[in-house]
Amino acid sequence: MKNLLFALIGFFLLTTGCDSTVKTGDGNGRILPNITGGAGEVLVVVDKYIWDGHSGELLKDILQEEFPGLPQSEPLFDVTQITASSFDNMFRFHRSVVLITLNETAEEGAVRYRKNVWASPQIVVQVEARNSTELEKVLKNNEQRIQNFLIQYDRRRLTESYSASRDQEIQKIMAENHHIRLGIPRGYNIDVSTENYTSVSIETPDFSQVLHVFEYPAESDSELQSGRLLENRNAFTKKHVKGPDDKSFMTTSMVYPPIFYDVKRDGMNIVEIRGLWDLEGGYMGGPFISHSVFDEQRKRVVTVEGYVYYPNQKKRTKIRQLEAMLYSLEII
């Protein structure tokens, strides 16, 4: 019965998974329901004996690796596991599905990636193997690909959603003062905007979620070296991001040194920094993420950064929201 259920899932994927278009009644595609589940959630469909074994532990390591640059430990994804017999219509509409299929007749183990199989915008990762031993090998060989696929697709969904609901006043300011375009949705307020610094934020009694932009002259991309980026970051935050009084200001925490990544996107070489900030002369802190790019045409470095203040609460979701906006950056 167990193998029959997985075989049925596999057959359904093969017959529907190649349809990656979502149309709305024009005859060229299927009309799909909206996804369920929140951002950062993954549904894993696998038998419990696999989930509790070596392959299951490996999959948990892939999906629940620690999210980088947060003050408290949080996983990349919140994972829910169900068996194939529970995979009914309610669960089929989940935003991110990982299907583990054991099929003795399969030619070889493989990982397939599909979108919009049962709902939209949905992603499905199907991992197929002939037995548990091969499954473990397939997972080990595709660990980074599976992880990256889920991360990037989740981010893309947020970026597209925010870009579709851009705040037009903020867009105008970003274009006029910084010659950039960002997918910042409605709901953010403009705090300050000058020719080299702009800050927008959502402020509530519980948290602050801020995105700010700063820029400075540069002759070459050598200004994207890690030391120079942190030096300039600290200079701008000291001047513009104050605490309860003018003697306190934001700085980069070195208790857990920032993490640097090289990102290539749309022809831009971007340096991404994930780290923690502190309040010099105060008791505030939290995570930040930034993207810095050298603008050859205008001989400058532009940094777009998001940071969160949300004491004693989980911060992964709010950093992911800011991250999605950073990944919409365009120089215009």
What is the secondary structure of 102-118 as a DSSP string?
A: E-TT-SS-EEEEEE-SS
Whether residues 174 and 99 share a domain: the answer is no
- Of residues 50 and 5, which shows the higher confidence score? 50
Burial (CB count within 10 angstroms: exposed 0-12, middle 13-18, buried 19+), residue 297: exposed
Please report which confidence band the pLDDT of residue 106 belongs to, taking 50, 70 and 90 as the band edges: confident
For residue 162, what pLDDT is reported? 95
pLDDT of residue 29: 63
More confident position, 263 or 19: 263
Same domain for 119 and 62? yes
Supply the pLDDT for residue 246: 83
Burial zone of 171 (CB within 10 Å; 0-12 exposed, 13-18 middle, 19+ buried): middle
In a shared domain, residues 199 and 85:
no
| Structure tokens that stand for 42 in this block | 């993954």
pLDDT value at 102 more than 80: yes
Q: What is the spatial distance between Cα 43 and Cα 77, in angstroms, rounded to a whole number?
A: 10
Report the share of the chain in percent with pLDDT over 70: 91
Same domain, 314 and 177: yes
- Domain match, 106 and 201 both: no
| Percent of the residues in the chain that have a pLDDT greater than 90, as a whole number | 86
Same domain, 18 and 122: yes
Cα–Cα distance, 213 to 174 (Å, whole number): 9
- Average pLDDT of the segment spanning 28-42: 86
SS3 labels along 58-87: HHHHHHCCECCCCCCCCECCEEEEECHHHC
Domain termination residue (choose one: 142, 162, 182): 162
Q: What's the chain's average pLDDT? A: 90
What's the pLDDT at 13? 43
Count of domains in the chain? Answer: 2
CB 236 within 8 A of CB 299: no
Tell me: do 110 and 215 sit in the same domain.
no
Tell me the whole-structure pTM to 2 decimals: 0.87
- Are 226 and 80 part of one and the same domain? no
Mean pLDDT in residue range 161-186 = 96
- The CA distance from 119 to 30, in Å, is 10
Task: Tell which residue, 298, 278, 294, has the closest CA to residue 286.
Answer: 278
Same-domain pairing of 115 and 215: no
Answer with the one of 144, 162, 180 that is the final residue of a domain: 162
Q: CATH code at 296?
A: 3.40.1000.10
Claim to verify: residue 156 and residue 185 sit in the same structural domain: no
pLDDT 10s digits, 246-282: 899 999 999 999 999 999 999 999 999 999 999 999 9
- Rounded Cα gap, residues 215 and 270, in angstroms: 14
**183 and 269 part of one domain:** yes
Decide which of 117, 133, 162 is a domain's last residue: 162
Q: Report the greatest alpha carbon distance in the chain.
A: 70
Q: Is the same domain home to 215 and 122? A: no
> Domain limits at 289?
166-331
